[in-house]
Structure 1
């Protein structure tokens, strides 16, 4: 699902939804994000509840490394097929989609100009390109609620520690927010993306 027909040279923002949702969910945020970016929302491949998932959930916040890698490879294959390699690409994901942002950055450290991880987390295992990610240190926004009932605090802390060591991190915790997104958070994300785009 595209926000508009992409123009040559326009930056692209890839939206990755959470477990049990679909590509239309995060697309509702597009009007609040930088208009200089074309936005595309992808649908995860696996049926889950009333929507779709990037992988099955066994232990929330602690994904299976092999399944996370397989899902990331699927997204990278879609990008290789549909997006010119010269296009600046940023990522934004919520919950399990946030996991996919971290996994994509760890798999292809120089492919993306920025990442936004909302209520997301990281695989609790080393990846071969983690050192390359730390060297590239792409800008990443990590936002989550202080009252999230779905993702364990330990999973958020693990993500924060990893991102602080491997990216140029903007870290935001939103008091009173559960497993969701607020307009204040999206305003922060929009400013972050504006400052992170090339040129």
Structure 2
């Protein structure tokens, strides 16, 4: 991809300095609406150290007085435009091309960031190996990569709270149908959890990421 990414490289938070990144898989963290690159970076101690972790800041500013940044506009709970989600995914893909190159990449996103993580996988299945979607959803519409995903079934973890009332029910229902047809889905609904992340969910995410590292080790050994 030759398009310049609108994501600001100067605000990316990395888990390790440049000299320690070579030859290691990269995990990108995509925050939720009204947050920034500092939010999900707090998860780093709970994630496998084998990954180089980069936490990105979304390119848009939500309407005042909402703080932080956003990946795409939200006009009311039902105003999530799939085309806007795709534009955010294209910005992430351009950043991957510029900053990561050929290193294996996985995505972990919360809420808006989870939707962008899935959309990035859909937009370019060759650029992303797996996705972790926390309290997120699959945007509607069709993308060129959907047919590829239906054949490859890349690993996806989808976690959400049973008491989460932020993501509209129709989007949750549509995601429940879309993901099994386009991924090797690992998912769990957490009783009592609202629009947030629990320790049980972090434990499941860690296990999922450890599996991805084991898959990589098996591929390298073969």
Are positions 1:56 and 2:73 aligned together?
yes
Instruction: Identify the range of structure 1 (2-11 vs 172-181) with the bigger mean alpha-carbon deviation.
Output: 2-11
Are positions 1:76 and 2:111 aligned together?
no
In structure 2, the partner of 1:147 is 163
How far apart, CA to CA, are the structure 2 residues paired with 1:158 and 1:30? 30
Cα distance change of structure 1 residues 54 and 2 upon mapping to structure 2, 3 Å threshold: same
In structure 1, the partner of 2:118 is 102
In structure 2, the partner of 1:2 is 14
Considering only CA atoms, is the larger Rg found in Structure 1 or Structure 2? 2
**Structure 1 runs not aligned, ≥5 long:** none
How far apart, CA to CA, are the structure 2 residues paired with 1:104 and 1:55? 13
Question: Conserved in 1, the CA contact under 8 Å of 2:133 and 2:157?
Answer: yes
Q: Which portions of structure 1, spanning 4 or more consecutive aligned residues, are displaced by more than 6 angstroms?
A: none
Question: Conserved in 2, the CA contact under 8 Å of 1:142 and 1:160?
Answer: no
Deviation at 1:7?
A: 2.2
**Aligned match for 1:116, one of 132, 149, 155:** 132
Deviation at 1:59?
A: 4.2
Equivalences for residues 1-199 of structure 1 within 5 A: 1-5=13-17, 6-48=20-62, 49-60=66-77, 63-85=80-102, 87-197=103-213, 198-199=216-217
Cα deviation code 1:77-122 (max 9, x no counterpart): 111111021x111100000000001100100112222110000011
Question: Conserved in 2, the CA contact under 8 Å of 1:113 and 1:196?
Answer: no
Question: Conserved in 1, the CA contact under 8 Å of 2:93 and 2:127?
Answer: no
**SS in structure 1 at match of 2:28:** strand
| Root mean square deviation, CA, Å | 1.2
Aligned length in residues: 198
**Structure 2 runs not aligned, ≥5 long:** 1-12, 218-222
Question: Conserved in 1, the CA contact under 8 Å of 2:135 and 2:196?
Answer: yes
**SS in structure 2 at match of 1:170:** strand
How far apart, CA to CA, are the structure 2 residues paired with 1:163 and 1:15? 20
How far apart, CA to CA, are the structure 2 residues paired with 1:123 and 1:27? 25
Deviation at 1:30?
A: 0.6
**SS in structure 1 at match of 2:196:** coil
**SS in structure 2 at match of 1:47:** coil
Instruction: Identify the range of structure 1 (23-32 vs 103-112) with the bigger mean alpha-carbon deviation.
Output: 103-112
